């Protein structure tokens, strides 16, 4: 038998004093493609990072590349989150910066980024087109990195990985932010890679996997445990439902009968048309589902409502009965809206602790700059209890598993009991159980008179309360229909 | 035009120089109401112009941009900045006559000509706002008597002004009303409203005067601090090369080191920066910085004297008139320094290593910041103003060096600051030549603690800590920093 490609023995890893991996042994042999799944917070990503050399534990970690292979002897890790820098090597982007136009070229264009990558890795552009095409990236070549949506960033990372074809490719949550069609295509590509000898390790709990996956494992008490199939992976225990805190059982004061009124909305960036003649009215109490492919303009549309987009001033929009640009401040608007989005999560203060982060929701700020009154403190504590976060209230958000992080952001956004809730792919990156819990909370919250706009890809996993639907396609509102049956 | 400051009697000079009152957030309870429904026209759409405008509009105010004809015709960046963000843009003739408040956010060098063009078009009783008072104080520009003249000066680059606002916060800001131009007594209310519109009220506002702002800004940001970091970077780098340290390492240690070291300064003052060192290194750094302060004090005093007398701005304006001959020559020379030309090496330097391997840099920054503060206070500037213009600005400038070294710093800072920077640098290097001969790699390039017994004498350590912690810049800093603890770290490393 040949040497294992990955040989790990007696691996130990701790994060901030907590044992994550404990005497872990693992071998990956040639021809194997692995799926690592299981409970959130079990150490899946940590193991992936150790293999990629991004995290150092103690113990043996050996990677044996095949010497006479046409594939580059590399381990490539595609992380769960995206990262990019501006031309000055700076990572200080701020939330919603992409909507503020500056003439300074702050970041590379997609094309320049790919050209630099090709040069660094010795790749040929001829092989790239098909990936760009399948991820619908052809039109984005001239776009600056900062202008990409979160889903597009994930795709760009995947494009690079597929293009490079490293001997060992590890992808953490490969399907995050991808819609059904894209996921299917991606699986096809994974199979193609496996066919030419790339070994895959996918970290996810998804069930629709590429055919090449032939090993399944999860991490249990710090060690790896092989299982027979994806169905055999352990799932997070479903949570005990507690009653919603009383202050959230009160219907929020509705500022107006019509929450959002948009007429003939047009937004373009240079030559790229993002929104084309959208008309949309959201009345108090309505529950909307907003759907569309990556890059169809959903985030832009929502940013017009949340006061984050300068183009709101150039369009015919009224929020809570008041036309935009008639003397209201964005803080007057934000006060009435609770929002979660992948971007908010990404740009969220990396130094924030759970309790402070939730408290900052009272002021719509990223970071807590004020004293919090006793009454408000009580509300925070009730929500911590409701979400079972009390134990971690002093932890840095970034040290929590993704699912918990998202609950913190949900708590932050509902703490002020907002009239309008805008949830932009709130379950991106969450697994089935987490999503089900999250959506159940949304349903319950919305039972008390809130207005909801919910963005989601997953036709199967949506809150029950949704009753109307709008689909965006290439910037146009294609269908507006009553969702006449309950989707579940 | 005569230097405004020099036309004042001494009593009035001291009076205006001494204005510095830290304002309580409750003084901003009226929000933006003093400007609500009024027409704000910003002249210039650059770093400050665009970002202040975006904030003011998002605060519910009516903002448009007046640009010079050429900028509109040629669709320059300023025009694109404004139109892409859907502001109304027009010529001076189109927009200025409608304005209740004109905000002049063009480069300082252009202020006189811009005001000459704009002032005749301004309506009776309107307000003129600045973000830096050079034009009023040093050039002595006189503004029509019916016009109210105010200043709202954010103490951060324009991009930070926007980023902090969107987080629901702001950047520290100085506001002032020009005593010669407040005919209706509305100046302060409008300055406060403008400040709220940019978000500044949340991060700490200093009620200042045009004179105090200019004299302290010139001394701090515009001359000493940039010069200080330039000199320190070059001296540190050259010393390491002389002693055989790998150039790539030396380049990286300096380029990113200034940022890492001053980040500690930003968060907890000189005390926090010094506390990052081991006890023996701290004592060493203290001794070195005392020596450096003795050597550099006369130079700091000369700069301050030249700024107070107007000599500094006189020579600089001469160079403006001369087509920036000196400035351009100095800029070219800076581009030729070995530090500038050696790219940072591909070596990993841990965060703590930036302190342990650069005790000289720490000492030098401590010496420079304390001296700048002391010199300003001696000259009659209030400690609060002096703090913003010394300690507070240092990390912001260091961040630009981390991005692209000295060239980047000099590109980002104003021409005035660049001019002052070279002036200081050229005088400081020869002054330190003898001292630098005594410097070895233990304090720059290698780990100071290596191979040493880390034990210290209690009494010495207590005395050193006491001296660091009780310096006046630490006292005022503790109060002002509390107002802005929430500001995010700007980080490149
Ligand atoms: N940068 C800072 O960190 C900072 C901080 C606090 C205060 N300030 C103050 O803010 C003010 C503006 O500085 P800035 O850094 O924002 O400047 P900037 O980025 O250089 O922008 C200057 C703007 O003025 C326009 N302009 C240039 N020359 C002009 C002329 N002769 N007539 C009319 N318009 C002209 C430019 O547009 P066109 O060339 O396209 O016409 C540009 O839009 C200064 O008073 C400065 O001291 C700056």
Place of tokens 């004297």: B305
* Cα B234 to Cα B254: distance, rounded to the nearest angstrom: 9
Answer whether B469 contacts ligand 1 (Cβ < 6 A): no
B13 domain residue, yes or no: no
Does residue B130 contact residue B72 with C-beta atoms inside 8 Å?
no
Q: Write the residue in B60, B162, B488 that is nearest to A100 by C-beta.
A: B162
Give residue A81's pLDDT.
62
Same domain, B172 and B220: no
What is the bridge-based pairing of β-strands A34-37 and A58-63? unpaired
Rg (chain A; Cα; Å):
23
Same domain, B310 and B386: yes
Whether B32 and A365 lie within 8 Å, measured CB to CB? no
* Chain B nearest CA to A181, separation (Å): 34
Q: Tens digits of per-residue pLDDT, A101-123?
A: 665 556 778 888 898 888 888 88
Residue B139 sits in which domain range? 21-207
B102 domain residue, yes or no: yes
Tokens of A12: 């130990």
Same domain, B164 and B229: no
Q: B128 phi and psi, to 5 degrees?
A: -115, 130
What region does A53 belong to: left with phi over 0, alpha with psi -120 to 50, or beta? left
Per CB-CB distance under 8 Å, the chain A contacts of B36 are 327
DSSP state of B446: S
Q: Write the residue in B32, B403, B486 that is nearest to A89 by C-beta.
A: B403
| pLDDT-wise least confident of A219-223, A417-421, A460-464, B90-94 | A460-464
* Cα A197 to Cα A70: distance, rounded to the nearest angstrom: 9
Q: Tens digits of per-residue pLDDT, A176-216?
A: 767 777 788 889 999 999 999 999 999 988 888 999 999 99
How many separate domains does chain B show?
Answer: 2
Give residue A40's pLDDT.
75
Which among B111, B132, B392, B471 is annotated as catalytic? Answer: B132
Closest residue in chain A to residue B50, using alpha carbons only:
A102
Is-catalytic flag, B111?
no
Q: Ligand 1: which of B41, B42, B48, B65 to mutate, judged by most atoms within 8 Å of the beta carbon?
A: B48
Between the CA of residue B444 and those of A96, B30, B229, B230, B240, what are the distances in Å?
Answer: 41, 52, 15, 16, 7
Is A81 touching B (CB cutoff 8 A)? no
Mean pLDDT of the A57-86 span: 81
Answer whether B108 contacts ligand 1 (Cβ < 6 A): yes
Chain B contact probe: residue of A331, A362, A372 with most B CBs at under 10 A: A331
Whether B85 and A88 lie within 8 Å, measured CB to CB? no
| pLDDT-wise least confident of A89-98, A476-485, B308-317, B449-458 | A89-98
| pLDDT level of residue A93 (50, 70, 90 thresholds) | low
Whether B492 and A89 lie within 8 Å, measured CB to CB? yes
Residues 6 or more apart in contact with residue A63 via CB below 8 angstroms: A5, A6, A7, A51, A75, A168
B429 domain residue, yes or no: yes
Of B207, B241, B262, which closes a domain?
B207
- CATH number of residue B96's parent domain: 3.40.50.720
Of B175, B207, B239, which closes a domain?
B207
User: What are residue B89's DSSP bridge partners?
Assistant: B65
The residue whose CA has the least distance to atom 27 of ligand 1 is B106
> Which numbered atom of ligand 1 lies nearest the CA of B68?
33
* Cα B469 to Cα B481: distance, rounded to the nearest angstrom: 15
Is B201 touching A (CB cutoff 8 A)? no
Of B207, B225, B243, which closes a domain?
B207
Chain mean position to CA B352: 27
- CATH number of residue B354's parent domain: 1.10.1040.10
B9 domain residue, yes or no: no
Answer whether B154 contacts ligand 1 (Cβ < 6 A): yes
Is A314 touching B (CB cutoff 8 A)? yes
Place of tokens 């980023």: B163
| pLDDT level of residue A89 (50, 70, 90 thresholds) | very low
Same domain, B374 and B388: yes
Mean pLDDT of the A401-407 span: 84
Per CB-CB distance under 8 Å, the chain B contacts of A331 are 59, 168
Is B86 touching A (CB cutoff 8 A)? yes
Answer whether B247 contacts ligand 1 (Cβ < 6 A): no
Same domain, B162 and B251: no
Give residue A148's pLDDT.
76
Q: How many residues does chain B have?
A: 493
Residue B3 CA to ligand 1 center (angstroms) comes to: 22
* Cα A102 to Cα B78: distance, rounded to the nearest angstrom: 9
pTM over 0.80: yes
Closest residue in chain A to residue B408, using alpha carbons only:
A88
Same domain, B198 and B111: yes
Examine the pLDDT at A485 and tell me if it is beyond 70: no
Examine the pLDDT at A430 and tell me if it is beyond 90: no
Same domain, B242 and B177: no
Answer whether B91 contacts ligand 1 (Cβ < 6 A): no
Whether A88 and B58 lie within 8 Å, measured CB to CB? no
> Which numbered atom of ligand 1 lies nearest the CA of B70?
41
B3 domain residue, yes or no: no
The residues of chain B scoring below 70 in pLDDT are 484-493
Whether A365 and B54 lie within 8 Å, measured CB to CB? no
- The residues in A 88-117 lying below 8 A from B, measured between CB atoms, are 88-92, 94-97, 100-104
Answer whether B68 contacts ligand 1 (Cβ < 6 A): yes
Same domain, B194 and B224: no
Whether A330 and B37 lie within 8 Å, measured CB to CB? no
* Cα A240 to Cα A317: distance, rounded to the nearest angstrom: 42
* Chain A nearest CA to B490, separation (Å): 7
Q: Tens digits of per-residue pLDDT, B100-154?
A: 999 999 999 999 999 999 999 999 999 999 999 999 999 999 999 999 999 999 9
Chain A contact probe: residue of B40, B89, B166 with most A CBs at under 10 A: B166
B252 domain residue, yes or no: yes
B492 domain residue, yes or no: no
* Cα A262 to Cα B177: distance, rounded to the nearest angstrom: 42
Mean pLDDT of the A246-260 span: 88
Give residue A460's pLDDT.
61
Answer whether B46 contacts ligand 1 (Cβ < 6 A): yes
Mean pLDDT of the A215-236 span: 88
Answer whether B57 contacts ligand 1 (Cβ < 6 A): no
The 10 Å Cβ neighbour count of residue B314 is 12
* Cα B242 to Cα B434: distance, rounded to the nearest angstrom: 15
- In chain A, residues under CATH classification 3.40.50.300 are 1-74+166-235, 246-482
Residue B317 CA to ligand 1 center (angstroms) comes to: 17
| pLDDT level of residue A171 (50, 70, 90 thresholds) | very high
What region does B367 belong to: left with phi over 0, alpha with psi -120 to 50, or beta? alpha
Longest Cα separation, chain A: 75
Q: B390: closest CA among B162, B175, B229, B202?
A: B229
Same domain, B385 and B355: yes
* Cα A260 to Cα A322: distance, rounded to the nearest angstrom: 9
Answer whether B135 contacts ligand 1 (Cβ < 6 A): no
In this prediction, the answer to ipTM > 0.95 reads no
Place of tokens 């203060």: A349
Same domain, B64 and B167: yes
Same domain, B63 and B27: yes
* Cα B147 to Cα B181: distance, rounded to the nearest angstrom: 6
Whether A88 and B167 lie within 8 Å, measured CB to CB? no
Q: How many residues does chain A have?
A: 488
What is the CATH architecture assignment of A1-74+166-235? 3-Layer(aba) Sandwich (3.40)
3-state secondary structure chain A: CCCCCEEEEEEEEEECCEEEEEEEEEEECCCCCEEEECCCCCCHHHHHHHHCCCCCCEEEEEECCCCCCCCCCCEEEECCCCCCCCCCCCCCCCCCHHHCCCCCCCCCEHHHHHHHHHHHHCCCHHHCHHHHHHCCCHHHCCCEHHHCCHHHHHHHHHHHHHHHCCCEEEEECCCCCCCHHHHHHHHHHHHHHHHCCCEEEEECCCCCCCCCCCEEEEEECCEEEEECCHHHCCCCCCCCCCCCCHHHCCCCCCCCCEEEEEEEEEEEECCEEEEEEEEEEEECCCEEEEEECCCCCHHHHHHHHCCCCHHHHHCEEEECCEECCCCCCHHHHHCCEEEECHHHHHHCCCCCEHHHHHHHCCCCCCCCCCCCCHHHHHHHHHHHHHCCCHHHCCCEHHHCCHHHHHHHHHHHHHCCCCCEEEEECCCCCCCHHHHHHHHHHHHHHHCCCCEEEEECCCCCCCCCCCCEEEEEECCEEEEEEECCCCCC
Give residue B415's pLDDT.
82
* Cα B448 to Cα B457: distance, rounded to the nearest angstrom: 17
- The residues in B 211-250 lying below 8 A from A, measured between CB atoms, are none
Query: Can you tell me whether residue B347 is helix, strand or coil?
Result: coil
User: What are residue B88's DSSP bridge partners?
Assistant: B64
- The residues in B 286-325 lying below 8 A from A, measured between CB atoms, are none
Q: Tens digits of per-residue pLDDT, A324-349?
A: 999 999 999 999 999 998 778 877 87
Q: What is the CATH number of domain A246-482?
A: 3.40.50.300
**Chains A–B, number of C-beta pairs less than 8 Å apart:** 84
Closest residue in chain B to residue A315, using alpha carbons only:
B86
Tokens of A297: 């303009």
Give residue B467's pLDDT.
96
B374 domain residue, yes or no: yes
Same domain, B252 and B396: yes
Give residue A90's pLDDT.
45
């Amino acid at each position: 038998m040949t040497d294992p490609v990955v040989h790990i023995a007696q691996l130990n890893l701790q994060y901030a004093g907590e044992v994550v991996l404990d005497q872990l042994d693992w071998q990956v042999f040639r021809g194997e493609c692995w799926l690592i799944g299981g409970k959130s917070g079990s150490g899946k990503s940590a193991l992936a990072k150790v293999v990629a050399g991004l995290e150092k534990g103690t113990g043996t970690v050996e990677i044996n590349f095949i010497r006479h292979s046409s594939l580059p002897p590399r381990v490539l890790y595609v992380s769960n989150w995206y990262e990019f820098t501006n031309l000055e090597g700076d990572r200080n982007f701020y939330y919603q910066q992409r909507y503020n136009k500056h003439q300074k070229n702050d970041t590379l264009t997609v094309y320049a980024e790919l050209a630099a990558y090709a040069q660094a890795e010795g790749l040929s552009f001829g092989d790239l087109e098909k990936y760009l095409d399948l991820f619908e990236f052809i039109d984005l070549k001239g776009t600056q990195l900062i202008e990409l949506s979160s889903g597009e960033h994930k795709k760009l990372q995947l494009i690079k990985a597929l293009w490079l074809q490293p001997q060992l490719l590890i992808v953490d949550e490969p399907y995050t932010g991808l819609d059904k069609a894209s996921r299917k295509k991606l699986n096809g590509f994974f199979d193609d890679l496996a066919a030419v000898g790339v070994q895959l390790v996918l970290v996810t709990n998804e069930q629709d996997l590429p055919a090449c996956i032939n090993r399944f494992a999860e991490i249990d008490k710090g060690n790896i445990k092989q299982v027979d199939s994806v169905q055999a992976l352990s799932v997070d225990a479903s949570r005990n439902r507690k009653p919603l805190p009383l202050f959230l059982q009160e219907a929020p004061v509705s500022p107006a009968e019509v929450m959002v009124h948009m007429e003939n909305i047009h937004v373009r960036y240079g030559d790229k048309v993002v929104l084309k003649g959208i008309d949309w009215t959201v009345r108090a109490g309505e529950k909307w589902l907003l759907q569309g492919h990556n890059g169809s303009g959903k985030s832009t549309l929502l940013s017009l409502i949340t006061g984050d987009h300068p183009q709101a001033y150039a369009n015919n929009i009224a929020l809570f009965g008041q036309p935009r640009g008639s003397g209201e401040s964005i803080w007057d608007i934000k006060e009435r809206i609770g929002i979660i989005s992948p971007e908010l999560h990404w740009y969220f203060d990396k130094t924030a602790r759970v309790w402070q982060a939730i408290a900052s929701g009272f002021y719509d700020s990223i970071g807590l700059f004020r004293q919090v009154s006793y009454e408000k403190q009580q509300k925070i504590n009730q929500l911590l209890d409701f979400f079972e976060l009390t134990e971690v209230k002093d932890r840095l958000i970034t040290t929590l598993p993704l699912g918990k992080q998202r609950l913190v952001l949900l708590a932050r956004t509902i703490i002020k009991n907002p009239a309008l809730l805008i949830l932009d792919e709130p379950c991106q990156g969450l697994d089935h159980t987490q999503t089900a819990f999250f959506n159940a909370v949304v349903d319950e919250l919305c039972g008390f008179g809130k207005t909801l706009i919910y963005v989601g890809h997953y036709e199967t996993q949506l809150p029950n309360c949704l009753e109307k639907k709008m689909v965006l396609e290439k910037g146009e509102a294609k269908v507006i229909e009553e969702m006449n049956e309950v989707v579940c | 035009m005569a230097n405004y400051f020099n036309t004042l009697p001494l009593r009035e000079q001291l009076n205006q120089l001494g204005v510095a009152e830290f304002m309580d957030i409750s003084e901003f309870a009226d929000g933006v109401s003093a400007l609500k429904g009024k027409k704000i026209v910003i002249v210039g759409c650059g770093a400050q112009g665009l970002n202040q405008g975006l904030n003011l509009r998002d605060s519910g105010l009516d903002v448009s941009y007046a640009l010079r004809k050429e900028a509109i015709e040629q669709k320059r960046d300023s025009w694109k900045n404004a139109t892409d963000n859907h502001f109304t843009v027009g010529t001076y003739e189109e927009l200025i006559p409608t304005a209740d408040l004109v905000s002049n956010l063009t480069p300082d060098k252009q202020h006189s000509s811009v005001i000459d063009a704009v002032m005749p078009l301004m309506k009776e009783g309107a307000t003129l706002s600045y973000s830096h008072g050079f034009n009023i104080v040093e050039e002595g520009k006189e503004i029509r008597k019916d016009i109210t003249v105010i200043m709202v000066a954010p103490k951060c680059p324009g991009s930070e002004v926007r980023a902090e606002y969107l987080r629901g916060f702001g950047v520290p800001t100085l506001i002032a009303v020009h005593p010669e131009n407040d005919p209706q007594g509305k100046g302060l209310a409008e300055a406060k409203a403008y400040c709220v519109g940019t978000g500044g009220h949340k991060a700490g506002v200093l009620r200042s005067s045009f004179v105090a702002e200019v004299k302290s800004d010139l001394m701090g940001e515009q001359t000493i601090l940039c010069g200080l970091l330039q000199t320190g970077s070059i001296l540190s780098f050259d010393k390491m090369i002389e002693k055989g340290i790998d150039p790539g390492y030396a380049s990286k240690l300096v380029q990113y080191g200034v940022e890492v070291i001053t980040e500690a300064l930003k968060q907890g003052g000189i005390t926090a920066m010094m506390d990052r060192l081991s006890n023996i290194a701290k004592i060493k750094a203290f001794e070195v910085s005392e020596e450096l302060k003795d050597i550099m004090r006369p130079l700091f005093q000369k700069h301050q004297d030249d700024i107070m007398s107007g000599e500094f701005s006189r020579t600089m304006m001469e160079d403006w008139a001369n087509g920036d001959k000196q400035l351009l020559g100095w800029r070219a020379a800076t581009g030729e320094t070995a530090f500038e030309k050696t790219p940072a090496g591909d070596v990993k330097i841990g965060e703590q290593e930036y302190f342990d391997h650069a005790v000289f840099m720490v000492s030098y920054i401590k010496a420079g910041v304390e001296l700048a503060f002391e010199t300003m206070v001696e000259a009659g500037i209030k400690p609060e103003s002096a703090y913003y213009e010394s300690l507070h600005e240092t990390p912001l400038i260091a961040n630009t060096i981390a991005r692209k070294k000295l060239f980047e710093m000099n590109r980002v800072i104003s021409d005035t600051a660049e001019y002052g920077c070279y002036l200081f640098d050229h005088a400081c290097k020869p002054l330190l030549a003898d001292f630098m001969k005594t410097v070895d790699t233990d304090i720059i390039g290698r780990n100071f603690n290596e191979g040493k017994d880390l034990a210290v004498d209690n009494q010495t350590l207590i005395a050193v800590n006491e001296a660091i912690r009780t310096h006046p810049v630490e006292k005022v800093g503790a109060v002002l920093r509390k107002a802005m603890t929430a500001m995010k770290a700007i980080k490149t490393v």
